Copies of this chain bind each other. A is one copy, B any other.
């Protein structure tokens, strides 16, 4: 049997389409996603072992109304789609979100434009992630570079903390944050790490090119690998011996700078 050709144009195009989808799981998450008028759903995945439940009926009728393909899977196959068997509750959905795109598309579309992005390097707390998305969406941020791994997953806590903005926020997807940041840098974009120990103050920092502000993990800050990639280290000065700000607060101060 032939292996699928990984480099054929048709395969690459298909892969690109699937990469542009966001898979969410869990009954409440999927329901809330479908209730947002702006959400397009490509496929609804259900475990064939699901017992009937009102929330499943609601999910299925919303998915049908939005023209989604509905597929029933063995429990284990569903787990491979959700990548979280213990929390998917037998439901997953491939969504096309209004503001969701691959980072390289954004890069190609915005040549010679000025823009401000956030990049998330290990934001683990779902409430922080949701708040960052909400503030970025409300403030002056053109995109949030969100790697597939290493940050909190889009779950009901994130959706709630985002006040529903996750479904329209400009989320830029990448597999590997250092690779994506490298591509932005090559295109002349300034990449900054936020750090309490940095000398340059956010308020006094006025970049003359597009700029990405990297926000790190709640305890560890920006990872070493990403820090070494950055052009600048930026701080927000603090009073009273406070050592750091909450990462979502930092994001908001950037978004409303």
Task: Kindly report which residue of chain B lies nearest to residue A243, judged by CB atoms.
Answer: B163
The answer to whether A52 has its CB under 8 Å from any CB of chain B is no
Q: Mark A127-138, 1 if CB is under 8 A from B, else 0.
A: 100010011011
Interface centre among A140, A240, A243 (most CB of B within 10 A): A240
Is A242 a contact of B131 with CB atoms below 8 Å? Answer: no
Contact of A238 (CB < 8 Å), options: B127, B138, B242, B249: B138
Is A239 a contact of B137 with CB atoms below 8 Å? Answer: yes
Interface centre among A140, A244, A245 (most CB of B within 10 A): A245
What is the distance, in angstroms, from A59's C-beta to the closest C-beta of chain B?
25
Is B242 a contact of A256 with CB atoms below 8 Å? Answer: no
Tell me what chain A mostly uses at the interface: helix, strand, loop, or mixed.
Answer: loop
Task: Kindly report which residue of chain B lies nearest to residue A242, judged by CB atoms.
Answer: B138
Is A168 a contact of B240 with CB atoms below 8 Å? Answer: yes
What separation, in Å, do the CA atoms of A248 and B165 have in the docked complex?
17
For residues 228 through 257 of chain A, which have their beta carbon under 8 Å from a beta carbon of chain B? Answer: 236, 238-246, 248-249, 252-253, 256
What is the distance, in angstroms, from A164's C-beta to the closest C-beta of chain B?
9
The answer to whether A139 has its CB under 8 Å from any CB of chain B is yes
What separation, in Å, do the CA atoms of A135 and B247 have in the docked complex?
11
What separation, in Å, do the CA atoms of A63 and B153 have in the docked complex?
42
Contact of A246 (CB < 8 Å), options: B134, B238, B256: B134
Is A245 a contact of B127 with CB atoms below 8 Å? Answer: no
What separation, in Å, do the CA atoms of A185 and B137 have in the docked complex?
36
What is the distance, in angstroms, from A219's C-beta to the closest C-beta of chain B?
11
Task: Kindly report which residue of chain B lies nearest to residue A239, judged by CB atoms.
Answer: B138
Contact of A242 (CB < 8 Å), options: B134, B140, B245, B253: B134
Supply 7 further A-B pairs (C-beta < 8 A) apart from A131-B248, A236-B256, A249-B249.
A131-B246, A135-B245, A137-B240, A163-B246, A168-B240, A253-B253, A253-B256
Chain A residues engaging chain B, CB cutoff 8 angstroms? 127, 131, 134-135, 137-140, 161, 163, 165, 168-169, 236, 238-246, 248-249, 252-253, 256
Top 5 closest pairs, chain A to chain B, by CB: A138-B242, A138-B238, A249-B252, A137-B240, A131-B246
